[in-house]
Structure 1
Amino acid sequence: MTWKTEWKKWSNHKELPSELKKQMNNMTEREREDAFYKQLKFGTGGMRGELGAGPNRMNIYTVRKVTVGLSAYIQENGEEAKKRGVVIAYDSRHGSAEFALEAAKTLGVHGIKSYVFDELRPTPELSFAVRYLRAYAGIMITASHNPAEYNGYKVYGEDGAQLPPATADVIVTHMNEIENELLLEVKEERELLRQHLVSYIGENLDQVYLDYVKGLQLNKDAATTNLHIVYTPLHGTGQKLVPEALQNYGFQHITIVDEQKNPDPNFPTVSAPNPEEAQAFQRAIQYGKQANADLLLATDPDADRLGIAVKNNSGDYVLLTGNQTGALLLHYMLAQKQEKGMLADNSVMLKTIVTSELGRAIAQNYGVQTVDTLIGFKYIAEKIEKYRREEAKTFQFGYEESYGYLIGDFVRDKDAIQAAVMIAEAAAYHKQQGMTLYDGLIQLYEAYGYYKEALTSFTLKGKDGAEQISRIVSQFREHPPAELAGVAVEKIEDYQSGKRINLLTAQQEVIDLLSSNVLKFWLQDGSWFAIRPSGTEPKVKFYFGVKEVTQNRREKRLEEIQSTVMGAVENMIYN
């Protein structure tokens, strides 16, 4: 079926909302093709896309279609699965509340119960609620830290984690059986309420979740320190829980960035609500200077990612990367647990294959095993569940370079609320010792080596962009570099074929992970870079990591590798 056939089908649909009709009428030919040439992709990260008309956009019809696929999967697992039902939460984005209700109205047609949050809530609370209510699945309506024109739909399994590939494939199979998403049936809300197929949940669950977070506290004395915190929810869901969680830990000096406190789908004070980017911290830094704050915190719209800024030795605020924050959290928690005799002999720390190697060095120093996973927090959650079932290892911490951290496994996704209170506790502890978190980070580098990582990405939208991304990855896979910036490439890890090849010895090893379209190149000096097409955005991402004996040598080495790789990529794109 061509895009023009799909366009005509949507144009002729009499019940199409007026807003979508207006958008269709205003589309250019190129915009029409991009919106109608394919179905918005659903995978292990759910689906995410620009809002608008067409099967390749987020709208009520794409939401209904994936929900029918989920419903079919639940029905295959019997009546008990239907009765256990689905928890549904949503963030502050355009259409989020409407899409959440559309999902419940679609599930109801199939006799599946929904527990819908009465207001916007963070993603980690959705994960917690699935586990706490013993639901069979969860739905989170969010586009995480993407710009305002995006929204998305994430599905969680009964363990509270995002779906593994096999389950996602089942849902996609059922979606592909749907001939016309425009004709899918939904039930009205009042009928769902009458039949007890919808229950609204809210504050009672908030308090249970916050009690669990309080239970993670390691050092109650630290909160008595006169620590000043500035927090911004970046117009998202974090305002619901982060301030109260900090207060529960005993922190009293908390300043909220007023202009960014209230939910707003347009995110008017930032170019993108992404705590990974410096522009998102501009107002928090202004507030920090006024309050002479020790710690600045920012969460993305669904409050699963946390960014922080701390004072350096000059008294200026510097933003820490996800790798740096993760290293500080890991070191603080392991040191505290070891001191208190709480560190189990079979402890494990989980990180992704593109997360800094500094975490491995820290964990090893405390006798904690490090296990690498594929990119995506669902793989960390999958390992946690496996270790729980087998009683094989004790989970201590999980993190990824993209500002996601998990401390307590009562949630099975990255959790910015947990991370916010623990990094505040770590900051307070350091302040008791006459140090800042920045001082603590420098101590880690002096003890373990000067690690540094970087991420560069290209956004290539539309059909042409997707083809270009595929060509870039294929070029590196089929014609790998033999050396970079004067250093030989020693190993290539191809996570799609599942092979690790040593170029110097010609030895091959099997990578014991699921297949994923990721390439990683290790240089002889321990530096590395990786290539990965994003599963949820029209991007190809390039990750870099180095370790040196001094900060200056670190900066130089990283710049050499990064510029060499990105120069080659730019030639592929523009020549």
Structure 2
Amino acid sequence: MEWKTEFEKWKMHSQHDLELKEQLDQVTGNEVLLEDCFYKELEFGTGGMRGEIGPGPNRMNTYTVRKAAEGLARYIESKGEDAMKRGVVIAYDCRHKSPEFAEQAALTLANHGITTYVFRDLRPTPELSFAVRHLNTYSGIVITASHNPPEYNGFKVYGPDGGQLPPGPADELVSYVQSVENELMIEVGDEKELKGKRLYQIISEELDDAYNEQLKSVVVNQSLIDAYGDKVEVVFTPLHGTANIPVRRILEDVGFKKVTVVREQELPDPNFSTVSSPNPEEHAAFEIAIQYGRKINADLLIGTDPDADRVGLSVKDNNGDYIVLTGNQTGALMLDYLLSQKDQNGELPENGIVMKTIVTSEIGRAIAEAYQLTAMDTLTGFKFIGEKIAEFEQTKEKSFLFGYEESYGYLIGDFVRDKDAVQACLLGAELAAYYKSKDMSIYEGLLEVYQKYGYFLEDLQSLTLKGKAGIEKINHILTTFRTNPPKEISGILIESVEDYRSSESLTVATGERTKIELPVSNVLKYKLVDGSWFCIRPSGTEPKVKFYFGVRADSLPEAQSQLASLRTSVMELVHQYV
């Protein structure tokens, strides 16, 4: 794509679009920025698309959103009249242009005769997943860029089961989007006319009520909440996003009486003005919540990201300081509580299954196996967990109990098919009530979990390598580890190498190779004889390669020492290859 030619095409079109003209005026004169806006098309991948807002084919704007929606419309048309009648439900978050992008997607789809439902106001991503199932639509769209910086937005597509599209249908959709030749010439319908034909419908509050009602099924022990719901002090921050109303509503409905909301972060704000990043994985996102927590001696601080699919928990450690639990720690606490309670109540199915990703802590497997349950690994990305839930729903082979990933995503009730921070907030508050009933803090509960199953610790290191040279370096790192893998790390022998690109697992001692029954992905995982492991995975959305580390030991100091040694040794090796 010749960027100057493309720029001229858009400039010509801007004579008919005042907003586009203003956007172009803002970047005209900055040749580097202009080239970046126009030198290529924003990639629409299997999870949809995400990018900075601005003019041109390499930005999120009215025209690139219409192109994505046009591709989806053609895909749905190819599935027949029933798919078109079932239609598409659209949700959006608090970001710049989110309502406008949702409307443009709806007008594009409805113009094809596809029934389109749009939420009246911003809603969490998990509620969109629920809505697909509740309304029995053929597809769903959520306009969001999750916890990316404020200048970003995105377009994410869901399938008929409420999960993100699996590889086959996703590839098919991508080809339809790529076949749309000129995003500037896509026709959209007239809103009034489409609403008159019931092709463009605004969703009523009945759907919020239905979602809230289903959320109540996540509660494990209502009598516990009845007894301690007025004794647990919770501070909640939606970090300017979509979780404010649904989280507060469900916590109040089930009986949590003392929920203090961080007022400075309560209302939607597309600039996320009070935080450097609206990411509950980061301690900085909890700074104001921690101030609130100190004032009321809160048992639990909860933070959700803008589209409410990820949640972070902050608790007091034994020194009285608030720390943010890792996604692995939160997952372990939730899983241990969930399974122990269900076991006590005789509610654990024999064919129960726990799902986690290949880069998530092995403590999840240890907990599941302690209850004679299966723990299954999936590739990174919650869509793979959603896919497996759908598969087992059909085969009845397994009963889903819990799914999670280290990047702060959790799912308890399968009425949603993606990570759901609203569900996780509810279970997190119940955890606080549980430990309050035992006269323990949540942190003491975490130490108890470690004592029970072993001290599992994890870490993540990222290496950002930008540009063409950066991509070559990332490829070189992976190629070197593939063709010349280390035989030991810090004196600990490598037990097996899992190559998810070739779908093979190699047992080093015997040379035996076994097939990995997961989709192909450019990921390497090394397991050591002492139970520790590390994994190398290039990011799918950023110019970086990620290194995940995990260890297991009999004490916390031992685990910390092992983790530091593993991380240092692997990263020293990596830097030799860069």
* TM class, shorter-length: over 0.9
Using the TM superposition, give the Cα deviation of residue 508 of structure 1 relative to its aligned residue in structure 2, in angstroms: 0.7
Contact 1:397 1:407 in 2 (8 A): yes
Query: Which residue of 2 is the match for residue 72 of structure 1?
Result: 74
Distance in structure 2 (CA, Å) of the matches to 1:161 and 1:150: 23
The question of whether the paired residues in 1 share the 8 Å contact of 2:129 and 2:158 is answered with yes
Is 461-470 or 403-412 further displaced after alignment? 461-470
Q: Is the 8 A contact 1:74 1:81 kept in 2?
A: yes
Supply the AA of the counterpart residue of 1:9: K
What one-letter code is carried by the residue in structure 2 that aligns with 1:12? Answer: M
Alignment of 1:238 onto 2:243? yes
Q: Name 2:156's counterpart in structure 1.
A: 154
Residue 172 of structure 2 is aligned with which of 159, 170, 173? 170
Greater displacement, 213-222 / 363-372: 213-222
- The 3 A distance-change label for structure 1 pair 34 and 485 is farther
Q: Counterpart in 1 of 2:189? A: 187
Does 1:18 pair with 2:21?
yes
Equivalent residue of 2:154, what SS?
strand
The Cα of 1:465 is off from its aligned counterpart by 4.4
8 Å CA contact 2:137–2:160 kept in 1: the answer is yes
Over 3 Å counting, the alpha-carbon distance change for 1:152 and 1:472 in structure 2 is farther
Contact 2:382 2:405 in 1 (8 A): yes
SS of the equivalent of 2:461 reads strand
Name the amino acid aligned to 2:299: D
Q: Taking structure 1 as reference, are residues 318 and 202 closer, same or farther at Cα in structure 2, changes over 3 Å only?
A: farther
- 1:50, 1:58 within 8 Å by CA — same for their partners in 2? yes
Q: Which residue in the other structure is 2:6 paired with?
A: 6
Taking the TM superposition and a 5 Å limit, the aligned residue runs for 1:426-437 are 426-437=431-442
2:57 aligned partner, one-letter code: P
Distance 1:555 1:79 in 2: 58
Task: Name the residue aligned to 2:30.
Answer: 27
> 1:474/1:6 Cα in 2 relative to 1: closer, same or farther (>3 Å)?
farther
- 2:212 is aligned to 210
CA shift, 1:461, in A, is: 4.7
Q: 1:388 is paired with a residue of what secondary structure? A: helix
Residue 565 of structure 1: how far off its partner (Å): 2.5
1:518 alignment partner in structure 2? 523
Q: CA deviation at 1:55?
A: 1.9
Answer whether contact 2:132 2:160 (CA < 8 A) is retained. Answer: yes
Deviations 1:24-52 (A, max 9, x none): 314332x3333333322222322111222
Deviations 1:508-563 (A, max 9, x none): 11100111111111122221111212223343221111111111111111112222
What residue is the counterpart of 1:285 in the other structure? 290
**Matches of 2:326 and 2:393, distance apart in 1:** 30
Structure 1: segments with no counterpart, 5+ residues? none
Within a 5 Å distance, the mapping from 1:136-535 to structure 2 comes to 136-223=138-225, 224-225=227-228, 226-461=231-466, 465-535=470-540
Give SS of 2:243's match. helix
SS at match of 1:153: strand
TM-score normalized by the length of structure 2: 0.96
Q: Aligned letter for 1:303?
A: A
- 1:90 and 2:95 equivalent? no
Q: Distance in 1 between matches of 2:402 and 2:353?
A: 7
Distance in 2 separating the partners of 1:110 and 1:464: 44
Question: Are the counterparts in 2 of residues 23 and 52 from structure 1 also a CA contact under 8 Å?
Answer: no
C-alpha distance in 2, partners of 1:384/1:84? 22
2-structure distance, mates of 1:53, 1:489: 50
Query: Which residue of the partner structure matches residue 134 of structure 1?
Result: 136
Which AA in structure 1 matches 2:177? M
Q: Which amino acid aligns with 1:332?
A: Y
Greater Cα shift, 452-461 or 222-231: 452-461
Aligned with 2:117: secondary structure? Answer: strand
Unaligned runs of 5+ in 2: none
**How many angstroms does 1:501 deviate by?**
1.2
Partner-residue secondary structure (3-state), 1:309 = strand
Instruction: State the distance in 1 between where 2:55 and 2:483 align.
Output: 38
Q: Please tell me the root mean square deviation across aligned C-alpha atoms, in Å.
A: 1.6
Following the alignment from structure 2 to structure 1, what is the Cα–Cα distance between the partners of residues 565 and 26?
46
Aligned length: 572
Q: Which amino acid aligns with 1:539?
A: K
